[in-house]
Chain A
């Protein structure tokens, strides 16, 4: 069974640009969560999507957005990039993210560098 796939693995962008990251969950998984990992702030929850709807949201500015498609693939978008957005962005998928089906499988992440 294929794992969670995140593309691209590495990305370099310039301040002010926008970026789109992609996450393909494990087949059959309907919940996709996104996290930002930085040395200073650690792992912080961005948002969770389930059945194409945002179900949970963290405390990030509106420049961070996401969506989920009918095949459960998810994208996150960051507009007007800032230097502080440089981070490892991790995607996690689970069956439904509820009750006993909470086991989340993480992708390898996308390393975003803003210059």
Chain B
């Protein structure tokens, strides 16, 4: 079974500050890892994904994440927060055999203060 833990259900940063959203996963097989963003009353939009290869993954809107197998982590970062980054963020895990079935974390709500 796979699981995802997102540390901190709410994160607040000032505009221009570093954004760090934490995600730890558990998987008995090599994981596929994803970060999604959800705006109110909307579906989820993929920010970035890791399947194989380079462990530092760059996504849209200036976000990136690093897969660290030894720490079972896939933290999401952005150097400088923008007001438009305020949303809910979800980390998810799947694997090659079950890629159509993702297990999601509980989500982290990011607030950006002016």
A interface, CB within 8 angstroms of B: 4, 6, 31, 33, 35, 42-45, 48, 50, 55-56, 58, 90, 92, 94, 97-109, 111
Contact of A42 among B34, B42, B49, B104 (CB under 8 A): B104
Supposing A42-B104, A45-B102, A56-B101 touch, asked if A104 and B46 sit within 8 A by C-beta, the answer is: yes
Question: Is there contact, CB below 8 Å, between B45 and A106?
Answer: yes
Question: Majority SS of interface residues in chain A?
Answer: strand
B96 contacts chain A at the CB level, 8 A cutoff: yes
Question: Is there contact, CB below 8 Å, between B107 and A102?
Answer: no
Complex alpha-carbon distance, A15 and B103, angstroms: 29
Give the distance to chain A from B90, nearest Cβ to Cβ, in Å: 7
Chain B residues with Cβ below 8 Å from A102 are 32, 34, 49, 51, 94, 99-100
Supposing A99-B96, A102-B32, A106-B44 touch, asked if A45 and B103 sit within 8 A by C-beta, the answer is: yes
B98 contacts chain A at the CB level, 8 A cutoff: yes
Chain B residues with Cβ below 8 Å from A55 are 100
Chain B residues with Cβ below 8 Å from A44 are 104
| 3 closest A-B pairs by CB | A97-B100, A106-B43, A48-B100
B106 contacts chain A at the CB level, 8 A cutoff: yes
Complex alpha-carbon distance, A104 and B93, angstroms: 12
Complex alpha-carbon distance, A48 and B49, angstroms: 20
